[in-house]
Structure 1
């Protein structure tokens, strides 16, 4: 398409620059400077402006043509000092509005470069922006380079005014080089760019910075506003270990010099901010609007003690809607993302979309079979364990917490074991446990002192029936001993019942279990084990792996938007007084509880096979696929997940083996070793001395590390995220709060267990205001943006020029398509009862692809929401 202009000497090569303006083609917002001689602003993309030499040019050309300059850098010819030759500064020229390859909201411009044989082959370029406003540089393409052909530069970066940078912005071609294989002319540029990204660790970060650095979670509290909003620093101590977040460098609070002052615009490196603006609008405005507008509106409309009186009232949120006071809906409706989420019928009716769990059956959620099935195929399917020891033991320090051994007896269980003894059921791998005891008992005294929370720490024992489903046998409800933690727990065991007060007690006991599980899911399985643990790897990768490095190219798609969504979470979701604290049981202790769980986090156990074996849900079996055999054959999360894990493993092995032939090559890769050392010692510094960290001495170490990172950021996150609204949107099924303990015999509340079981249940679980806030949040978190990029896909086909890597990636994509067909086939198999269950919800959350919206399927490449 583009060729050489002229002869051999002084030729010009034409290229194409693709970019997006800050305000998405709203060129009126971009003000030209006098640099380059253009003093007028354009009237718009298709408007007109007059250049200094006369004549009329289109608006985009007028704005950008003399305000963006590029200099090519040679990868094959040096400047006499050993560094790649730098060409003459060249400006963008004509706007190309009709280029067929343009993506949504992108614009292209032509550019011409002087070239001769003495310059060699371009391998990088400098770019300068002389405008006051930044733009998003998508790509630069040079075609018909003599003796070479086309060169692609995949940029995807915000470029600010040139005065914002100490060193000129540089971009590299889509080549791949290990550090010791870098062409000599590019060595200095590769090293300098990594130095730029690391920064000096000083000062407060500015919006235009591109600096990646670490800090502790010291920005969740707001002690200057209120003592009640003070929160401990997470990370940097044995008391509160935590993964690191991106450093912002804001000033400390007045009352606590260790805490950072809150901000409405938390810094993240600019390229981690959404360049694909649909997601930006959706998340930023959606989450912030809930915190700033929706939550206060609900509180003023319903009060803090609003109640549902009947189960039909909850179903009415989706069927008839809920009437709001006169001025309430008007405060919500102007926000575009909330208009999309809330269905309104008339001016004062708020209506949510029906969650999948009640689309077929309104009451299936109440059944014991569905209760057990959701531990295998629900929103938190990665916690259930095969019971190995009876009675269940605690891992808490007995010198602090006394004897926390379970009080469930053999007699409790054997009445529902169909003639089996507990020993027989144990030896046959037929007893399972959902154990929330240790995570909650240590905090329960504090939680139950809160005005809005009353609950138990729970253990649930289940039996694997002959048809492959799980039957709950007993639920243990435990409270801290009234005389002190060192005296252990006071526990009560509740057994299944289907009549009278005992049936309502059983239903409420299951609610205590689900509330434990909802909170553990949101704070640990979801936030901690995906969002928080991945951020240090994002930081370390950008600090130590050049964009030219093959492992950078492998991992980059799996970091997309993660720092951004985590920053939003620290502002509005997990912050002191934020949405999670207001609508989940632990309240102000929510994130602190996740720190206690992080103490036991093990990187290598995040690999799905290792996780399943550790939980006793699989046993090693070299003759079986994946080297293990599942204890429950119909375990949808594990069955589908293992296929995804295996596909990732094959792809990573195929890709990594293209660049490393030996273990010695891994050991000698300076960037790679610096990356892993810092990810462990700084990013996860509180656990750096744990013996389980891989040493990164072998090719297999590298493959395994990359597999765990990719699995965690893609499939694991998808498994615990995109089922949130389908299951939890019906608050009766997944309550987030319990507000009172089981009533005592002889009280009015105990009488309600028989006379009005719905009221007794509803007065125990999440109230109306908290439920509405929770539904609003999890619907946003369960949706896919229109520009999502899924596992097996790339947002740019030119991400590498390595044809073997592209072939391996295509093979990966084809394998995922096969897996998608197999999952759909299993969901149609009626003999697999856990795949649909009483609620008739096929297990679709690990289907690799999805459309836009609330689809209950799809594995994005990254933790992007």
Structure 2
């Protein structure tokens, strides 16, 4: 028997597959068993296999010798002999038993070729076998519950979900926000949703590397002290750097660059067009006339739709952090921007609070340069809080986690929607657990260096989820609602719409493969249990979310699945991938402010700015954590690529291939668009978008 250590093509067209089963007789079945490719996937334990058919079962067969087969990446071949006809093959049962020492095993798939040919059947697994355990897998053809009639298959669906519901449970992390997986730390998660060993080692090693390098910088400078001058921040630009971060360092003071980041930085969802000024922003036309193009006015530009607003009212009154005994400070700015015909989007007025008054002046571009610069820093400081906690963590990580938990609890592995979503949920539960324990916990990194660390971040989260809506997660509706469909140089909008349309088209074709009518959707009890759990359990404390608890039509299902996939891929990449680029030059996006917002424009000095910005220690940690979280992952699976191939049928494979080609076309378009650009926008290149939230 030849042992194969190289990966082989897994899926084939199975002409003999009918309704997920094949008529088989007695004789020898050729079986192939594929072991995982990650570190420690292999095992030296005993592995037994049983073929389960409609008419009976094969003998329980020991698969070769322990310690010789089931090596990492191997595809091992065996023969299983049946003395009596099995009828249609329904299941493959794998059993693992300890041999000398316990040794877990990851099985990718099993294929079975019946006696006399007739085509090979594939049984996807993609699970860890831990301890003395039995696992039963179905043939890979996706099937809704109504398409199963055999009692054995219906019982298998039910038993699988009952087991998963014991393993994956809901818990309320905090009141007023979506529920999450019941695990205090990542170590409590089931191995099936944990990082691979290589991922775990890289994740923990990269953070230690960044913190160690920047610790050396702190020792080389002055630990815990303020800077003397803005140029001092260059002293922590050591190995951790990027072309965009260096460009940012050179241009961060410029108004056009400030406006560019409002559209294409890590928080591109805040800006909105206004036709009239907010009543709490007392800006008159003559105040900003010097920022306008010739022969126009603020009133004319409001009417023309060229005035935009950043409103950080959500920050008003949020409790502030105390770091090493020193109270930190926050502001809730209003920032007015103008789409200048020559200069692009530029800020024209900034108020650092929601209530106008003598102590809350309106800062203007004509003010003393240091005063205008500090006002922009305060807006960028609010940006850091909102993009990290709300746009990034809450609106991508935690929203997607709801769908992860519901999918594991309510959809069996044979269900077409489980197969569609599984690749887009890889590693998400573990990275979210790590985020809760290491980033935003009572003693996490936010508590150490971020002005909203501690109680403030929870208040912000609760406020955001009171206004979060399902429609706002749909990019086309979001852009229309914010009035930004005509905003020039809004690369995030253009690229995300290209990707949304590609994802929506892909999902629509996949849904039509498995749901021929709207009634198929409405009558799919497993699917309805899934959406009901998403709404009632996951988002139960968000009364205005707006997602119905019943899916009535294919169109509703397509939109929802597109939102889940778009959020876990494109939207996460837009807020995550560039965070080091925009935050590495700390004055551009400070994580905290150590002095209150200025109340007197004329009193702003360089000394005040340096005393306000993060100190050396805080700056180093900001650089380290944004590099760690924003860097490209070495084991990244790009959007549209599937290392675990759940779909085996030809029609679904054709749709996947079409989706991949469309992503290639988008990639070419974006690269062509950015060729020769001084400041390229490449965060939404399909090849740089991960297929799931893994960091």
* TM norm structure 2: 0.89
Matched, 1:305 2:219: no
Conserved in 2, the CA contact under 8 Å of 1:355 and 1:730? no
Matched, 1:424 2:300: yes
1:137–1:13: structure 2 CA closer, same or farther, 3 Å change rule? same
Partner residue, 2:531 = 676
Q: CA deviation at 1:112?
A: 2.6
Conserved in 2, the CA contact under 8 Å of 1:459 and 1:475? yes
Partner residue, 1:591 = 458
**Could you tell me which of 231, 234, 242 is aligned with 2:177?**
242
Partner residue, 1:820 = 667
Q: Deviations over 1:674-721 (max 9, x none)?
A: 000011100111125754537410110000000000100000000100
Partner residue, 1:92 = 63
For 1:595 and 1:146, the matched residues in 2 are separated by: 63
Matched, 1:863 2:693: yes
Q: Residues 315-464 of structure 1: matches in 2 within 5 Å?
A: 315-318=234-237, 351-360=238-247, 362-390=249-277, 392=278, 405-418=280-293, 419-436=295-312, 438-443=313-318, 451-464=326-339
**Could you tell me which of 649, 653, 663 is aligned with 2:508?**
653
For 1:373 and 1:746, the matched residues in 2 are separated by: 25
Q: Residues 486-525 of structure 1: matches in 2 within 5 Å?
A: 491-497=360-366, 502-525=368-391
Q: CA deviation at 1:356?
A: 2.5
Structure 1 stretch 554-563 or stretch 279-288: which is displaced more? Answer: 279-288
Conserved in 1, the CA contact under 8 Å of 2:25 and 2:87? no
Matched, 1:717 2:572: yes
Q: CA deviation at 1:128?
A: 1.9
Matched, 1:72 2:51: yes
Let me know the Cα RMSD of the aligned residues.
Answer: 3.1
Partner residue, 1:12 = 28
1:494–1:381: structure 2 CA closer, same or farther, 3 Å change rule? same
Q: CA deviation at 1:145?
A: 5.4
Matched, 1:170 2:170: no
Q: CA deviation at 1:284?
A: 4.1
Matched, 1:314 2:233: yes
Structure 2 gaps of 5+ residues are 3-23
Q: CA deviation at 1:364?
A: 1.1
Conserved in 1, the CA contact under 8 Å of 2:49 and 2:93? yes
Conserved in 2, the CA contact under 8 Å of 1:460 and 1:513? yes
**Could you tell me which of 122, 130, 134 is aligned with 2:104?**
134
For 2:564 and 2:354, the matched residues in 1 are separated by: 38
1:657–1:135: structure 2 CA closer, same or farther, 3 Å change rule? same
Q: Residues 688-727 of structure 1: matches in 2 within 5 Å?
A: 691-693=546-548, 695-727=550-582
For 2:275 and 2:322, the matched residues in 1 are separated by: 30
Structure 1 gaps of 5+ residues are 3-7, 31-62, 79-84, 200-210, 218-233, 236-240, 249-261, 319-350, 394-404, 482-487, 618-629, 830-835, 850-857
**Could you tell me which of 841, 844, 848 is aligned with 2:686?**
848
Partner residue, 1:5 = none
Matched, 1:198 2:165: yes
Partner residue, 1:335 = none
Partner residue, 2:18 = none
Partner residue, 1:777 = 625
For 1:848 and 1:639, the matched residues in 2 are separated by: 14
Q: CA deviation at 1:121?
A: 3.7
Q: Deviations over 1:466-524 (max 9, x none)?
A: 1471011011111779xxxxxx99522100147xxx10111111110000001100000
**Could you tell me which of 212, 215, 227 is aligned with 2:168?**
212
Q: Residues 465-476 of structure 1: matches in 2 within 5 Å?
A: 465-467=340-342, 469-476=344-351
Partner residue, 1:187 = 154
Higher relative contact order (CA 8 A, sep 6+): 2
For 1:520 and 1:806, the matched residues in 2 are separated by: 40
Q: Secondary structure at the match of 1:242?
A: coil
For 1:774 and 1:565, the matched residues in 2 are separated by: 19
Q: Deviations over 1:148-187 (max 9, x none)?
A: 411222222111112xx6xx32222211111110251411
Partner residue, 2:499 = 644
1:21–1:510: structure 2 CA closer, same or farther, 3 Å change rule? closer
Conserved in 2, the CA contact under 8 Å of 1:12 and 1:113? yes
Conserved in 1, the CA contact under 8 Å of 2:141 and 2:647? yes
For 1:530 and 1:9, the matched residues in 2 are separated by: 50
Q: Residues 580-619 of structure 1: matches in 2 within 5 Å?
A: 580-588=446-454, 589-617=456-484
**Could you tell me which of 784, 787, 796 is aligned with 2:635?**
787
1:732–1:361: structure 2 CA closer, same or farther, 3 Å change rule? closer
Q: CA deviation at 1:773?
A: 1.1
1:491–1:743: structure 2 CA closer, same or farther, 3 Å change rule? closer
**Could you tell me which of 79, 97, 116 is aligned with 1:112?**
79
Conserved in 2, the CA contact under 8 Å of 1:95 and 1:108? no
Q: Secondary structure at the match of 1:685?
A: coil
Matched, 1:282 2:158: no
Q: Secondary structure at the match of 1:657?
A: helix
Conserved in 1, the CA contact under 8 Å of 2:466 and 2:544? no
For 2:139 and 2:169, the matched residues in 1 are separated by: 26
* TM norm structure 1: 0.72
Q: CA deviation at 1:144?
A: 4.9
1:468–1:91: structure 2 CA closer, same or farther, 3 Å change rule? farther
1:652–1:489: structure 2 CA closer, same or farther, 3 Å change rule? farther
1:609–1:146: structure 2 CA closer, same or farther, 3 Å change rule? farther
Conserved in 2, the CA contact under 8 Å of 1:377 and 1:843? yes
1:447–1:274: structure 2 CA closer, same or farther, 3 Å change rule? closer
**Could you tell me which of 621, 632, 652 is aligned with 1:805?**
652
For 2:523 and 2:117, the matched residues in 1 are separated by: 33
Q: Deviations over 1:189-235 (max 9, x none)?
A: 11111111112xxxxxxxxxxx1110011xxxxxxxxxxxxxxxx13
For 1:596 and 1:299, the matched residues in 2 are separated by: 36
1:194–1:302: structure 2 CA closer, same or farther, 3 Å change rule? farther
